[in-house]
Amino acid sequence: MTTLSEVARLAGVTSATVSNVLRQRGKVGEQTRLRVLEAVEQLGYRPHLTARALAEGRAPTLALMVSSIANPFYPEFALAAERAARAHGRFLIVCNTNDDPATGRAYLDQIAGTLSDGVLIMNANLPMDDLKKTEKRGAPVVLCMWEKPDAPPELPSIAVDFRAAGAIAGRHLIELGHRDIGALVGSKKNGIHAERYRGYLDACAEAGRKHAQERTRYIPDTVAAGYDATMAMLKEFPQLTAIFASNDLPALGAMNAIADMGLNVPRDISVIGITDIQWARLSRPALTTVAVPTDSAAEMSIELLLALINRSSKSPVMRVTATPELVRRASTAPPKKR
Amino acid sequence: MTTLSEVARLAGVTSATVSNVLRQRGKVGEQTRLRVLEAVEQLGYRPHLTARALAEGRAPTLALMVSSIANPFYPEFALAAERAARAHGRFLIVCNTNDDPATGRAYLDQIAGTLSDGVLIMNANLPMDDLKKTEKRGAPVVLCMWEKPDAPPELPSIAVDFRAAGAIAGRHLIELGHRDIGALVGSKKNGIHAERYRGYLDACAEAGRKHAQERTRYIPDTVAAGYDATMAMLKEFPQLTAIFASNDLPALGAMNAIADMGLNVPRDISVIGITDIQWARLSRPALTTVAVPTDSAAEMSIELLLALINRSSKSPVMRVTATPELVRRASTAPPKKR
DNA sequence: TTGAAAGCGCTAACAC
DNA sequence: GTGTTAGCGCTTTCAA
């Protein structure tokens, strides 16, 4: 490993000067600058980021806490977040909590404020208290995809208007003429997807209709759960002509279930999801869904986090992304005439 | 931020002692130990990982270079790698090169050997030379999924016998009775998937058959490319009864194309892939594929990397994972009688 | 068993 | 412009 002072020695200057030329801090003569640069080149010197971090009192990394990077939505977010971080000279450490609060806490304890300057929280199943504690210890925390713009959380956050997304999905189904709709909610009753469902109910209300409780299933946010719930619901309510799913994963499961029952999407039953993950456009039929602005949410999250780190913003702040938009694909159509 | 010496002061000892207590380095009296622990608790002290790294001369992080974490296979690998890294007390930094060698080089230059102790290379499109250069600078490098066990690379690596995988896929198709098979190779002719195709050709040869060159398409490793190539190939060779794809993504594309042509998988045409990514089991019909041992490849990669870092192993070493295995699902069946 | 002190590689005042 | 110096927070000999 080549160090600053080795470079300095070769260039016949002191390490402070080398540091100055490397950080482009003016006040360096043109010839010494050239001499230093040459020495750097010759020795193949690379700054030691850890040492620099310690001296500067700040880490070059940010952490992203996520329940599991293998969940199909997160990689897309992570990619965008990493890009945004890079654009600001930061590296991204990925922390999979596996939905286990203890794992998340361990991460927070170890890296927040030491290895990484701040942390992005994406659905990591961590109690607010733990998050506030790490914030108090000096490491800013940003909630990446808050679901309720009307109810700002106690921590800085980027919010997506998921209620609007739910309403858009509901409206689309209703406008197509659907009256018998089943709803798949990918969380507990008052869980994370509650707002999306509320939005769907808003759309029903707007249309002067009422959604019957029994036609709603609260399930895990997975393809398999969407599959099972759809099977069950279709058996109980064969008259359904459409399925509203609070997320793309259960929607995809619903499509599979419908296909396996020998029915056709969208001819017999329409399906709509929310998010617009990659698979949505690749499934057959391609899934109609309400696209959430993933990339800009990631960028906004990184920017807010950096602002907090630089103390140029004070918590709590909530910023709202652009409104989700309908993406019409092939899984929705008017209901069959009877 | 609480520092070691603050804890030391509170406990009435010196920071060296606190350090000893924390690192469980015996030689500390029981009462002082307790006193120190209490002080740690009281102040909510957390070791500063960056400072520790600098003092120890080693970073607590490992880097994973990948072309794009959003590519459906990588997140699964990344998850397993992160778990393995955590099990050894390391954190994982994700580096998306975006398939751009310059980006990869920039990462290597910046973090290898400074911010991170070593780097895992997963299909990041980086020239060997750059990798060898970073290794020379002192940061071990491990190639995570080398495709040719018979031709060890010049760097430490974990190899998967993809030729065997290709042979397994080919054999499966042939055993089902297929004779008119189209091949989709997800890389350039002598590119990364060449071994898989060779394996497929091995299977043909074993069966005393010869695969006709014109029935092979070299394409990008994507769903879209698989779709287009299948469309084209089926138009040119309507007699095909099966598609061998060197990867699941093109295989999924092939299934979509077949469906869009109004044909049925597997009744009219069988499709097989390689890897067994998550989507494979979720597609309709579920994709028959040859599963690669992702998790163990990730673990082996991490372990090899750590061994190199601890100099308990010297490069180059190549280790081979368990052999890929056939996963029969619904996309393959015997060909129709004519 | 505990303390003193040096140093990891770099940055940032402050002098010269 | 360039050098001197004092740390950043921790680990680790080496002495006591």
pLDDT at A315 > cutoff 90: no
Q: What is the pLDDT of residue A311?
A: 85
Q: Would an 8 Å CB–CB cutoff place A34 in contact with chain B? A: no
Residue B72 contacts A where some CB pair is shorter than 8 Å: yes
Look up residue B244 and give its two tokens.
């061998």
- If you average pLDDT over residues A304-320, what whole number do you get? 89
pLDDT of residue B124: 86
Q: Which nucleotides of C are covered by protein (CB under 7 A)?
A: 1-5, 7-13
User: Which bases of strand D sit closer than 7 A to a protein CB?
Assistant: 1-5, 7-13
* Distance (Å, whole) CA B259 – CA B253: 10
- Per-residue pLDDT averaged across B292-305, rounded? 98
Single out the residue of A269, A289, A320 nearest to residue A170, CA to CA.
A289
| pLDDT tens figures, A178-237 | 999 999 999 999 999 999 999 999 999 999 999 999 999 999 999 999 999 999 999 999
Domains B56-161+294-323 and B162-292 share a fold: yes
What tokens appear for A189 in the block?
Answer: 């009753």
From the CA of A280, how many Å to the nearest CA of chain B?
A: 11
Q: Which nucleotide is nearest to B19 (CA to C1')?
A: D11
B278 touches strand C (CB under 7 A): no
Pick from A50, A135, A264 the residue to mutate for testing the B interface (most B CBs within 10 Å).
A50
The CATH number of the structural domain formed by B162-292 is 3.40.50.2300
Residue ranges of domains in chain A: 4-47, 56-161+294-323, 162-292
CA dihedral A257, A179, A219, A332 (to 10 degrees): 50
pLDDT, tens digit, for every residue of A138-162? 999 999 999 999 999 999 999 999 9
CATH code 3.40.50.10490 for A56-161+294-323: no
- B314 pLDDT exceeds 80? no
Whether A102 shows a pLDDT value over 80: the answer reads yes
CA–CA separation, A218 vs A190, rounded Å? 10
Q: What is the pLDDT of residue B338?
A: 60
pLDDT at A338: 60
Bigger pLDDT: A34 or B24?
Answer: A34
Query: How close, in Å, is residue B200 to chain A by CA atoms?
Result: 26
The answer to whether A47 CB is within 7 Å of strand C is yes
Q: Which of B265, B247, B248 is nearest to B256 (CA)?
A: B265
Q: Could you give the percent of chain B with pLDDT greater than 70?
A: 99
Question: Considering chain B, what is the average pLDDT of its residues?
Answer: 95
Q: Which residues of B212-243 are buried (b: 16+ CB within 10 A; e: fewer)?
A: eeebbbbbebbbebbbbbbbebbeeeeebbbb
Residue type, A141: V
Query: Are the C-beta atoms of A73 and B69 separated by less than 8 Å?
Result: no
- Measuring alpha carbon to C1', the residue closest to nucleotide D5 is A16
Which amino acid is residue A157, in one-letter code?
Answer: S
**pLDDT value of position B315:** 65
Mean pLDDT of A36-60: 96
Residues A77 and A168: their CA atoms lie apart, in Å, by 22
Nucleotide in closest CA–C1' contact with B23:
D11
Q: Under DSSP, is residue A184 helix (H, G, I), strand (E, B) or coil?
A: strand
A75–B76 CB contact, under 8 Å: no
Q: Which residue did the predictor score with more confidence, B180 or B311?
A: B180
Residues of B in contact with A75 (CB under 8 A): 69-70, 72, 74-75
CB B142 within 8 A of CB B121: yes
**B4-47 adopts what CATH topology?**
434 Repressor (Amino-terminal Domain) (1.10.260)
Top residue of A73, A94, A264 to mutate, by most chain B CBs within 10 Å, is A94
* pTM exceeds cut of 0.85: yes
- Going by pLDDT thresholds of 50, 70 and 90, the confidence category of residue B27 is confident
Which residues of chain B (17-76) touch nucleic strand D at CB < 7 A? Answer: 19-20, 22-23, 45, 47-48, 51-52, 54-56
* Nearest alpha-carbon partner for B83 in B316, B313, B300: B300
Residues A256, A260: Cα–Cα separation, whole Å: 6
**How many angstroms separate the CA of B84 from the C1' of C2?**
37
State the nearest Cα–Cα gap between A132 and chain B, in angstroms: 14
Amino acid at B124: A
